[in-house]
Amino acid sequence: MKRIYYYYIALSGFFGLFILLMLWNTLLVPSTHFPVALVLLAVITPLLIPLRGFLNGNLKSCTWMSYLSLFYFTYGIAEAYTTPAELYYALLEVFFSLLLCAGSGFYVYTAEQVK
């Protein structure tokens, strides 16, 4: 597979995860214990830190994005286990985080193989 396809997979995982987290925490199931802005700040901010380099295809930013996606994978598994009412949202989070992790990981791996 060409290297650019892995980047597209990573981008679709990122934007899917970003949109899902925004909708999940604002419209679908807003938090009753914490302010929505605080929840969004805690959940979305880690995705935005390496975003500029990730969108430019920087290998270091793609590596960090792959590492960050594992946090969302773990959180999705925990949510699926503890909150059965939000099972489908949690499984979508797991799916998008795996897309992000695999896409950015293979993108970096194929870039290193070219050298």
The model's pLDDT over 21-67, given as tens digits with 9 standing for 90+, comes to 999 999 999 888 999 999 999 999 999 999 999 999 999 999 999 99
CA distances to 29, 32, 39 from 15, in Å: 19, 26, 18
More confident residue, 113 or 109: 109
- Determine the Cα–Cα distance for residues 111 and 2; give it in Å rounded to an integer: 10
Domain-by-domain residue ranges, the chain? 3-114
Does the structure show a pLDDT above 90 at 1?
Answer: no
> What is this structure's pTM?
0.93
State the pLDDT at residue 112.
78
State the pLDDT at residue 61.
95
Does the structure show a pLDDT above 90 at 115?
Answer: no
- Determine the Cα–Cα distance for residues 108 and 104; give it in Å rounded to an integer: 6
The model's pLDDT over 65-104, given as tens digits with 9 standing for 90+, comes to 999 999 999 999 999 999 999 999 999 999 999 999 999 9
